[in-house]
């Protein structure tokens, strides 16, 4: 199978980010909250990216921050796709009052800006990693629901789905064996976008102080911690910002390639 250079590059970079995140304790040169120098030291042999606003090694913080960011974004994306896809496909197949009830509830949630909704919830709840994953996953599942339902409504009227219904197949068979394989292409493309949205959303929450809490590290929190240095020409805040941008581009390159490879699933297959 021939992989385009852009997709191969995106795959390598994305895999690199995930491997660094998995093996962060083995790769990081210092402890997460260990103060190892003066404030905003320049790059050196001891500190390859310099130090941060209170003298911690910036490379160490970046590695651990990537671990936290990628873990939370991955879990939130998995939750949003599991919940959103199942509800969306079920609503399309069942129709009637079930479809109307779920769709109106989703419309209600989507009418409130996600960031404002999350800020309100997190301001009255303890800000922990499970709570962040739950809030981000539930809010993002509304977008997945709308996409999966729209795709499933078109597939649901096709002949092979009608034949499965006439054979008396169960709802789970129709959803997972007839509709889902043929809805895979747009869902896979959306998966990459939702993951990047989760990364950006988490970074925004941390920058506003309602995301990952100190002394834990994530990329949005690192930007917040070091933003004052930009005034003095210190680029410590730009390093995590650049990491977010590189991860976003690489994941999108992979998602575009997967979309092209799975596009032949459109058109359906019999059960």
Q: What domains can you pick out in the chain, each with its CATH number?
A: 5-265 (1.10.3720.10)
Beta bridge partners of 51: 57
The C-alpha atoms of residue 163 and residue 166 are separated, in whole angstroms, by 5
Short-list 12, 21, 9, 7, CA closest to 199: 21
Helix axes 58-94, 5-22, angle to 10 degrees: 110
| pLDDT at residue 7 tops 50 | yes
- What is the predicted pLDDT for the residue at 220? 92
**In whole angstroms, how large is the CA radius of gyration of the chain?**
22
Contact, 244 vs 219, CB < 8 A?
yes
pLDDT digits (tens, 9 = 90+) for 195-243: 999 999 999 999 998 889 888 889 999 999 999 888 888 888 999 999 9
pLDDT level of residue 270 (50, 70, 90 thresholds):
very low
Quick one: tokens of 190?
């959306």
Question: Peptide bond preceding 173: is omega within 30 degrees of 0, i.e. cis?
Answer: no
* For residues 12-38, average pLDDT: 92
pLDDT at residue 202 in the model:
94
pLDDT at 1: 59
Residue 193 has pLDDT above 80, yes or no: yes
Cβ neighbours of residue 18 under 8 Å, at least 6 residues apart? 70
User: pLDDT band at residue 257, thresholds of 50, 70 and 90?
Assistant: confident
- State the average pLDDT over residues 241-265: 82
Percent over 90 (pLDDT), the chain: 48
Q: Which residues neighbour 214 within 8 Å (Cβ) at sequence distance 6 or greater?
A: 221
Token pair in block for residue 107:
């419309």
Under a CB-based contact definition with an 8 Å cutoff, are residues 73 and 212 in contact?
no
Return d(Cα 204, Cα 199) in angstroms, integer: 9
Q: What is the pTM of this model?
A: 0.89
Locus of tokens 């896809």: 85
Q: Integer distance in angstroms from the first to the last C-alpha of the chain?
A: 27
Q: How far is CA 103 from CA 14, 89, 147, 148, 182, in A?
A: 34, 12, 12, 12, 22
pLDDT of residue 268 exceeding 60: no
Pairwise CA distance, residues 46 & 37, whole Å:
10
Question: Which residue, 160, 145, 146, 166, is CA-closest to 265?
Answer: 160
> Which pLDDT belongs to residue 271?
41
Retrieve residue 100's tokens. 């109307």
CA distance 271 to 242: 46
pLDDT, tens digit (0-9, with 9 covering 90-100), for 91-140: 988 888 988 999 999 999 899 889 999 999 998 888 899 999 999 999 99
- CA gap 49, 6 in Å, rounded: 28
Write phi, then psi, for 55 (nearest 5 degrees): 95, 15
Of 56, 51, 64, nearest to 20 by C-alpha is: 64
pLDDT in tens, 41-68: 888 888 889 899 889 999 999 999 999 9
261 versus 192: which is more confidently predicted?
A: 192
CB 170 within 8 A of CB 64: no
User: What is the C-alpha to C-alpha distance for residues 197 and 194, in angstroms, rounded to an integer?
Assistant: 5
pLDDT digits (tens, 9 = 90+) for 150-171: 988 888 888 888 888 888 778 7
What does the pLDDT read at residue 262? 64
Q: What is the mean pLDDT of residues 181-191?
A: 82
């Amino acid at each position: 199978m021939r992989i385009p250079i852009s997709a191969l590059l995106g795959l390598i970079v994305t895999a690199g980010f995930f491997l660094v995140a998995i093996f962060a304790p083995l790769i990081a040169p210092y402890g997460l909250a260990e103060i190892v120098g003066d404030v905003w030291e320049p790059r050196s042999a001891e500190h390859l990216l310099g130090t941060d606003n209170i003298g911690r090694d910036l490379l160490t913080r970046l590695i651990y921050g990537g671990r936290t960011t990628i873990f939370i974004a991955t879990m939130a994306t998995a939750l949003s796709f599991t919940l959103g896809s199942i509800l969306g496909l079920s609503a399309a197949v069942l129709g009637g009052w079930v479809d109307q009830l779920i769709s109106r509830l989703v419309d209600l949630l989507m009418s409130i800006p996600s960031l404002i909704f999350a800020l309100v919830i997190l301001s009255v709840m303890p800000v922990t990693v499970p709570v962040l994953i739950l809030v981000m996953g539930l809010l993002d599942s509304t977008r997945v629901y709308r996409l999966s339902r729209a795709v499933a409504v078109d597939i649901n009227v096709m002949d092979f789905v009608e034949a499965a219904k006439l054979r008396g197949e169960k709802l789970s068979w129709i959803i997972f064996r007839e509709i889902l394989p043929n809805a895979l292409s747009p869902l896979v493309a959306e998966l990459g976008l939702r993951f990047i949205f989760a990364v950006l959303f988490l970074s925004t929450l941390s920058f506003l102080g309602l995301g990952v809490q100190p002394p834990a590290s994530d990329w949005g929190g690192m930007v917040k911690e070091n933003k004052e240095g930009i005034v003095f020409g210190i680029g410590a805040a730009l390093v995590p910002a650049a990491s977010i941008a590189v991860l976003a581009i690489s994941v999108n390159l992979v998602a575009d390639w997967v979309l092209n490879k799975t596009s032949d699933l459109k058109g359906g297959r019999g059960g």
